[in-house]
Amino acid sequence: MLILLGYLVVIGTVFGGYVMTGGHLGALYQPAELVIIGGAGIGAFIVGNNGKAIKGTMKAIPLLFRRSKYTKSMYMDLLALLYRLMAKSRQHWMFSLERDIENPKESEIFASYPRILADAVMLDFIVDYLRLIISGNMNTFEIEALMDEEIETHESEDEVTAKSLSKVVDSMNAVVSVTQGKVGLLA
């Protein structure tokens, strides 16, 4: 919602200021420029990215207009879940967590936190690393390094969309300048 408000403020102030200085909005409306610039941007986006990035971008655009699901209460739920899991492991040893980890959807502890159960990535992360800890085959430094690596992998996969759009936005300055010059010469 704030993004939409931000766009309205930018458009209102730019066009409002232009009109206040005596400019005529009709001079700004150039449909041919919009077609050329928009087409060049979309074409550059398609050429410069693979199918996965294009699909990810199309899925991500509607998310810009929604609130993030990662709120303070979600973080508090996560901390409470981890506390309960660790408390259970201290009282009944780590092996007591096996049932909870093998089938988290039927676990009493996980059932108390439906938002975490609904987030497949977060749930898999928690369960996978608790499974590694319980197995006892790795020391804490190795597990920490593995966790860091997985987090970095998720972040880099999520950045594909932003980077693909960033490439197009960076090139649009040149496209707009060239288009305005050509349309100005032709008019």
| 78, 122 Cβ separation under 8 angstroms | yes
Angstrom distance (rounded) from CA 162 to CA 151:
17
Q: Which residues contact 101 (CB under 8 A, 6 or more apart)?
A: 107, 127, 130, 131, 134
In the three-class reduction of DSSP (H, G, I as helix; E, B as strand; rest coil), residue 107 is classed as coil
Question: What's the confidence (pLDDT) of residue 83?
Answer: 95
pLDDT, one tens digit per residue, over 69-118 is 889 999 999 999 999 999 998 888 877 888 888 889 999 999 999 999 99
Q: Rounded to two decimals, what is the model's pTM?
A: 0.66
